[in-house]
Chains A and B, each alone.
Chain A
Amino acid sequence: MRSWTRPFRPPGQALLAKGSARARPLRPGAALLVAVLALAGCGNYSTEDLRFLAALPQKEDLRFAVPPPGQPGALSACPPANASVWLEAKPTSDKINAGVDFLLALVDAVRRLPPSYREEDARGWGPFDAERHPGREVRVLMGRSFPAELGGGARYAYAFEARWKGTDTWRAILWGAFDGGSASRGKGWLVLEFDALHALGMNDPDTPPGQMGVGYDRTGDPTLLQLVLGADGFGAVQFAYQHAGWSDGSGVFDFAFRDASLNVLYVRTRYDAEGAGRADVGFQGSGGATGSFTQCWGADACLVYVNDPGNFSCTPVPPETSCNYGLETACPSPLPVSPFP
């Protein structure tokens, strides 16, 4: 299993303390020429800027790409029933993606602007006014290093900080790190500080408290994405959401959701390229009861196997006395093995 490391502590000015360690002195004649010409040269034409910006994740890098379940027409004709848990996977991923979008809205604001501070291995943006939050300003600090363990590859660390205009104290609202040349091909993590957003009044109505941590690894197949929601928010329950997506369309998605009866279900799904799969579900009933059950379904999202000794997943209709259905051998096989512990 691949995993990512957290190479640095919550950032701040320390990111920019490196300076231009690799700057070389010029001979006097060359320095004079450089000085004359440098007076005329100006602009933001920087490929290095592009490298820094490429290290920041975009939507498609942090998206839980869960396939939609089966065809709508087929669902109504499922004997004995459709895969109710699998049907929750897509709506839940959409809610989580909404949280990611909230996070990336901050990132995108930076991508539209050229850096206002530039050193060989550092970039800075801002301070600039927070678009949706008058009276607040944001700055972004980004540093780069080349640690030995990356074999010459680059590691980027960044922090988005905000404050009330006119005050001295910056608070980190988003910080993270990334290893690689491009977010679409590297791995990284980031933390969104909801508490800081609340303190600064930069939250949305459904912004949860606490933190949201996101890790991603797009260096191979599958691509990995983990999102730890520290508290309920964005319509999703507090959970460590995990997704592994293979290039053939198969995947693993671990998620949680609250059903209509306010029971919380913790689901580990594995699905093949056609969408057929298996869910191992643990639940915590609203009344305090706990248990687990298993469902398997076909590509049409119709159940092919249910092992629910507690009859949690259905209400048996006589003469049926159990939610159990079919044989486990009917479950699709092979299914991907989860890379997550």
Chain B
Amino acid sequence: MSAARTLAIAIAVLAGGTAAASERRFALLAGEPDGGGGTVRLRYAERDARRMHEILTRVGGVRPEDARLLLSAGAGAFRRALDDLAAASAAARARGERTVLVVYYSGHAKDGALRLGGGRLPLDELRAALERAPADVRIGLLDSCRSGAIARTKGARPAPSFDVKTGEEGPSGLVLIASSAAGEDSQESDAVGASWFTHHLASGLLGAADASGDARVTLAEAYAYAYARTVGSTASSEGGVQHPVFLYALGGAGDVVLADLAPVSGGIALPAHAEGLYVILDRSGRAVAEVAKAGGSERRVALPAGRYQVKKRLPDESGLLVARLDVDRVTVPLDDARMDRVPLDRDPQKGWRGKRVSLLAGAGAQRFFSEAARDGLFPPATLLGAELSIRDDLGHGIAWGLDFALGGGRGEVRIPDAPPIPVEFGEIAGGASLWKDWRLGALTLSAGGRVAVTWLGRSFPPAENLPPQYFFTVTPGLTGSAAWRFTRRVSAVARVRASYLFYNVDENRSLGFAEALVGVEYALVD
């Protein structure tokens, strides 16, 4: 059965799907980056869990008090949380409520067990716990290597979708979904900042999987979408293609609605004629949803309020369409015609965040390399500086800026056979810089060139009865800096410049000087 046909069937049964609003839902979400000995620490396991927690509590019908988010909490905490939720579910059922228990795990799995830090949770134990959990529907979502083993014994299979029975009764039973088959690795992606499977599952829950367009994402829809997208995303990866698997043992009829988007206001709406892969990024450039859309029906992605960028790669690979959207309480329509066409190197998912304007203020010092120049012409000076920077304006990682510095110092001019002459030295400089940024997490290294106009002046005590002097010239040079980003807007910056000065009053002389500046940078437009 083709994926499209299976989806169509799934869509057809959605009318009989059980509304999340009539149920009490419980969720355990665990992110465990550390898998103990012999494993590499995962970069996105905790983010995966946080992301799923946010989605299930916002659109998944799980009350915040019914959700347990465990981050690097270990096997003991996992078991206790599962017991607590089982007890809560039992209590709800005793009150006559239907219950759904969702267990999500992102982390390592090896040798038939989940690896939670130093502890282990055998897959069989987890499966048994889910099978006996006092909930009408138990859903296990495992995003870990070889996690398909949890479903292997009872005929789990990698497939693009599963069939859903129709009938009068609501579903009940167990569903296990694993991110990869028993012999496969589950892969993380720096591009999306998540594991591939969770990324696509989350995108599906936000609306990308809503093939029926009824603003409800069922378990079948979510799985079908996550399967197709995960296989597609990993097909050419070094880690090999990754096939999600499922075990579907639901009795009754209808599907489980995992996400109900209708009550949630706000989001982005893709019109019916929109086609292609749309990636939605948050302010930090991380993908929060990815919508692979075919034409024919509108698709809405439910997003919390915030600023987002949406990118779509053009089919002919000639560029990207990008748009920046502010989402609040209303759904914002997105149309290709209103998106900006930009070159491929301005991919916001690869760090291109659009033009960013920031202001740097700091203090530092200036010093000429030549001792003779320091003694006879330009003594060391203390500087106060400010710089306006525009990043990613001319290209990805390319920035330019305008700077201004004011400084001064005191020293002595030494001339032969004469007593030293006290001097007060002043400097005013304004420059324009062009540089390249390299972002390494919170650290950004930069290097580039700068051209400045520099005014240097000195005056002498009244007793010396000497005229003030000045020199004005162009000083080209190199600039480099290291910036550590503390918050989205605030960074600490250390900047060093080496500049050339051609002095031509007494003689033609090439001089060099260095300036070091330490300051704080604040992003005005981000």
In the complex the two chains form, what is the Cα distance from A54 to B421 in whole Å?
Answer: 10
A49 located at the interface, meaning its Cβ lies under 8 Å from any Cβ of chain B in the complex? yes
Contact A111 B474 (CB under 8 A): no
Q: How far is the CA of A53 from the CA of B466 in the complex (A)?
A: 8
A111 to B507 Cα, complex, angstroms: 21
Q: Is A198 an interface residue (CB 8 A)?
A: no
B413 surroundings in chain A (CB, below 8 A): 47, 50
Nearest CB in chain B to that of A54: its residue: B418
Interface residues of A in 85-119 (CB under 8 A from B): 108, 111-114, 118
Which partner residue on chain B sits nearest A120 by CB separation? B507
When the two chains form the complex, which single residue of B419, B467, B472 contacts A113, counting CB atoms closer than 8 Å? B467
Asked whether any CB of chain A lies closer than 8 Å to the CB of B311, the reply is: no
Say yes or no: is B431 at the interface (Cβ < 8 Å to chain A): no
Nearest CB on A from B265, distance (A): 60
Cα-based distance from A218 to B503 in the complex (angstroms): 34
User: In the complex the two chains form, is B465's CB within 8 Å of A41's CB?
Assistant: no
Q: Mark B463-486, 1 if CB is under 8 A from A, else 0.
A: 001110111111000000000000
Contacts of B470 in A (CB 8 A): 43-45
Across-interface contacts of B469 in A (CB, < 8 A): 43-46, 49, 114
Please tell me if the beta carbons of A34 and B457 are within 8 angstroms of each other in the complex. no
Q: Which residues of B contact A180 (CB under 8 A)?
A: 417-418
Given A54-B418, A181-B417, A185-B418, the answer on whether A48 and B506 have CB atoms closer than 8 Å is yes
Complex CA–CA separation, A42 to B505 (angstroms): 7
Contact check, A26 vs B456: say whether CB atoms are below 8 A apart: no
Complex alpha-carbon distance, A130 and B113, angstroms: 100
Expressed in whole angstroms, the Cα–Cα distance for A160 and B134 within the complex equals 111
Contact mask A36-62 → B, CB, 8 Å, 1/0? Answer: 011011111111111101100010000
Residues of chain A within 8 A (CB-CB) of B40 are none
Who on chain A is nearest to B415 by CB?
A: A51
A54 x B505 contact (CB < 8 A): no
Are B504 and A38 touching (Cβ within 8 A)?
yes
A182 within 8 A of B: yes
B401 interface residue per 8 A CB criterion:
no
B376 in contact (CB, < 8 A): yes
Contact with A along B481-519 (1 / 0, CB 8 A): 000000000000000000000111111100000000000
Would you give the shortest CB distance from A60 to chain B, in whole angstroms? 9
Check A69 for interface membership: any CB of B closer than 8 A. no
Q: Which residues of A contact B507 (CB under 8 A)?
A: 120
Whether A111 lies near B505 (C-beta < 8 A) is: no
Q: Is B108 an interface residue (CB 8 A)?
A: no
Contact call B376/A47, Cβ cutoff below 8 A:
yes
Judge whether B418 and A41 touch: CB under 8 Å.
Answer: no
B467 vs chain A, min Cβ distance (A): 5
Q: How far is the CB of A114 from chain B (nearest CB, A)?
A: 5
B416 at the interface (CB under 8 A from A): yes
- How distant is B64 from chain A, measured CB to nearest CB, in Å? 65
Complex-state Cα separation, A181 to B417, whole angstroms: 4
- Contacts known (A180-B417, A182-B419, A185-B417); A41 close to B467, Cβ less than 8 A: no
A186 and B417 form a contact (CB under 8 A): yes
Contact (Cβ within 8 A) A58 B465: yes
- Which residues of chain B have C-beta atoms less than 8 A from A120's C-beta? 507
CB-CB under 8 A from A181, the residues of chain B are 415-418
What residues of chain B lie closer than 8 Å to A58, measured between beta carbons?
465
Interface size class of B (residues with CB under 8 A): 20 to 34
Question: Which among A37, A42, A47 is the interface contact of B415 at CB below 8 angstroms?
Answer: A47
Which residues of B sit under 8 angstroms from A51, Cβ to Cβ?
415-416, 418
Number of A positions contacting B (CB below 8 A): 35
**Is A41 within 8 A of B473, CB to CB?**
yes
Whether B419 lies near A37 (C-beta < 8 A) is no
Report yes or no: A34 in contact with B467, Cβ–Cβ below 8 A. no
A184 lies within 8 A of chain B by Cβ: yes
Task: Please state if B465 and A111 are interface contacts (CB–CB under 8 Å).
Answer: yes
CA distance A210 to B442 in the complex (A): 82
Q: Within the complex, which residue of A43, A118, A185 is in contact with B471, where a contact is CB–CB below 8 Å?
A: A43
User: A326 contacts the other chain (Cβ, under 8 Å)?
Assistant: no
| Chain A residue at minimal CB-CB distance from B376 | A47
A181 to chain B: closest residue by CB: B417
Q: Does A316 contact B (CB under 8 A)?
A: no
A135 located at the interface, meaning its Cβ lies under 8 Å from any Cβ of chain B in the complex: no
Question: Which residues on the A side are within 8 Å of B416 (C-beta)?
Answer: 51, 154, 181
Please, how many angstroms separate the alpha-carbon atoms of A315 and B73 in the complex?
A: 119
Task: Point out the residues of chain A lying under 8 angstroms from B453, CB to CB.
Answer: 40
The A-contacting residues of B in range 230-273, CB under 8 angstroms, are none
Q: Is residue A68 contacting chain B, with contact meaning CB distance below 8 A? A: no
Is A153's CB within 8 Å of the partner chain B? yes
A residues 1-55 touching B (CB-CB < 8 Å)? 26, 33-34, 37-38, 40-51, 53-54
Residues of A contacting B504 with CB < 8 Å?
34, 37-38, 41
B466 lies within 8 A of A37 (CB):
no
**In the complex, chain B residues whose CB is within 8 Å of the CB of A44:** 467, 469-471, 505
Instruction: Let me know if B421 and A50 touch, CB within 8 A.
Output: yes
* B458: interface (CB < 8 Å): yes
Whole-angstrom distance between the alpha carbons of A58 and B460 in the complex? 15
Q: In the complex, which residues of chain A have a beta carbon less than 8 angstroms from the beta carbon of B467?
A: 44, 53, 111-114
Which residues 431-478 in B have Cβ within 8 Å of A in the complex?
Answer: 453, 456-458, 465-467, 469-474
The answer to whether B474 and A40 touch across the interface, beta carbons within 8 angstroms, is: yes
B377 at interface, CB cutoff 8 A: yes
C-alpha gap A41/B506 in the complex (Å) = 12
Q: Which residue on A lies nearest to B465, using beta carbons?
A: A111
Q: In the bound complex, how far is the Cα of B115 from the Cα of A129, in angstroms?
A: 93
| In the complex with contacts A34-B502, A114-B467, A42-B417 CB distance below 8 A | no
Give A42 to B454 CA distance when docked, in angstroms. Answer: 11
- Min CB distance, B430 to chain A, in Å? 13
| Cβ-neighbour of B474 out of A26, A41, A46 (below 8 A) | A41
Chain A residues contacting B465 (CB-CB under 8 Å) are 58, 108, 111-112
- Select one of B377, B419, B421, B466 contacting A45, CB under 8 A: B377
Residues of B within 8 A of A118 (CB): 505
**Residues on B with beta carbons closer than 8 Å to the beta carbon of A182:** 415, 417-419
Set of chain B residues within 8 Å of A26, measured between Cβ atoms: 508
Q: Which of A37, A46, A112 contacts B502 (CB 8 A)?
A: A37
Return chain A residues, CB-CB under 8 Å to B502. 33-34, 37-38, 41
Contacts from A to B (Cβ < 8 Å):
26, 33-34, 37-38, 40-51, 53-54, 58, 108, 111-114, 118, 120, 153-154, 180-182, 184-186
Contacts A/B (CB < 8 Å), 18 sampled: A33-B502, A34-B504, A40-B473, A41-B502, A41-B504, A41-B505, A43-B473, A44-B469, A45-B456, A45-B458, A46-B469, A47-B415, A51-B415, A54-B421, A111-B467, A120-B507, A154-B417, A181-B416
11 more contacts with CB within 8 A, not counting A37-B502, A41-B473, A111-B465, are A38-B502, A40-B474, A43-B469, A43-B473, A44-B469, A44-B470, A46-B469, A46-B505, A108-B465, A181-B418, A182-B419
**Which B residues are closer than 8 A to A by beta carbons?**
376-377, 413, 415-419, 421, 453, 456-458, 465-467, 469-474, 502-508
